[in-house]
């Protein structure tokens, strides 16, 4: 562990207030360089076969195979990240999503949105139940499409948040990131993707962690049985509700997670 209990508590408090925290220089860059190499081959293949989920002009959502470099417990079982996830979304979370968001040149501003509906319509927002852990596979600069988010709207009713945004009461914050930085966010905060004005793709990985009892039918991770056997008890526990399969083809695949904005 890198952080003390006091530091993790402080991150959890910051998350409660803002709906997100940023851990600077947390993941090893040499690991992420390998992810980028493997990702570039997948991106090229998926673009060629038009098997991405399109999230706006020249903006692609691609599920990553839970195999090879991507099935790395140093990333998805990171003790500091999980300690913050557990502080804000309860003990014994489940991992339900391993994917990527990639704007290319020609991408545009997304409409401001949340990634999931509220648990209960027309009621004040609940504690957190769905978190995204995001980390880029490159530096994210003002030029290549930084994620933009409001702060604190994860605790606001969706309509109130939208009204406040429309009234100019909620500033958007661009989040520049360096390779190695990790963002943990509540997916109900109003946010948007911004244009990538460079020739280099800007892949952002998303690992989804849910409260222990929460099920998202729109996403899942196919876990190859032989990979599952190599995992620690913690890794197996995180993936306890994910389907196990004989193998995954790292290039093939389509996307079933098509409705993404609420």
Ligand X SMILES: O=C(O)CCC(=O)C(=O)O
At its nearest, how many Å lie between ligand X and the CB of residue 245?
26
Contacting residues toward ligand X, per CB under 6 A: 55, 101, 110, 115, 145, 147, 191, 193, 204, 260
The smaller minimum CB distance to ligand X, of residues 116 and 128, is found at 116
**CA 36/CA 113 separation, integer angstroms:** 27
- Residue 190 near residue 165 (C-beta atoms within 8 A): yes
Cα-Cα-Cα-Cα dihedral sign, residues 146, 152, 158, 160: negative
Phi, psi of 87 (to 5 degrees): -65, -35
The smaller minimum CB distance to ligand X, of residues 205 and 223, is found at 205
Strands 191-192 and 173-175, how do they pair?
unpaired
- Residue 99 near residue 61 (C-beta atoms within 8 A): yes
The smaller minimum CB distance to ligand X, of residues 75 and 248, is found at 75
The smaller minimum CB distance to ligand X, of residues 181 and 227, is found at 181
Q: How large is the C-alpha radius of gyration of the chain?
A: 17
Residue with tokens 């851990």: 23
At its nearest, how many Å lie between ligand X and the CB of residue 35?
16
At its nearest, how many Å lie between ligand X and the CB of residue 45?
20
At its nearest, how many Å lie between ligand X and the CB of residue 232?
30
């Amino acid at each position: 562990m890198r952080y003390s209990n006091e530091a993790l508590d402080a991150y959890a408090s910051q998350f409660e207030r803002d709906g997100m925290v940023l851990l600077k220089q947390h993941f090893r860059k040499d690991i992420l360089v390998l992810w980028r190499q493997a990702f570039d081959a997948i991106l090229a293949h998926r673009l060629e076969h038009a098997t991405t989920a399109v999230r706006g002009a020249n903006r692609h959502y691609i599920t990553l195979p839970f195999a090879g470099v991507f099935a790395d417990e140093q990333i998805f079982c990171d003790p500091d990240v999980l300690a913050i996830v557990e502080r804000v979304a309860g003990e014994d979370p489940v991992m339900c999503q391993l994917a990527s968001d990639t704007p290319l040149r020609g991408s545009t501003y997304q409409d401001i949105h949340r990634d999931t509906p509220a648990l209960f319509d027309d009621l004040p927002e609940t504690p957190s139940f769905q978190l995204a852990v995001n980390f880029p596979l490159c530096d994210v600069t003002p030029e290549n499409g930084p994620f933009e988010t409001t702060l604190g709207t994860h605790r606001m009713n969706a309509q109130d948040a939208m009204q406040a945004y429309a009234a100019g009461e909620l500033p958007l914050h661009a989040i520049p990131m360096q390779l190695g930085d990790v963002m943990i966010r509540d997916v109900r905060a109003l946010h948007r993707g911004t244009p990538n004005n460079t020739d280099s793709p800007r892949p952002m990985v998303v690992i989804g962690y849910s409260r222990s009892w929460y099920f998202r039918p729109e996403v899942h991770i196919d876990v190859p049985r032989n990979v599952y056997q190599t995992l620690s008890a913690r890794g197996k526990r995180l993936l306890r509700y994910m389907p196990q399969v004989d193998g995954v083809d790292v290039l093939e695949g389509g996307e079933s997670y098509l409705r993404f904005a609420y």
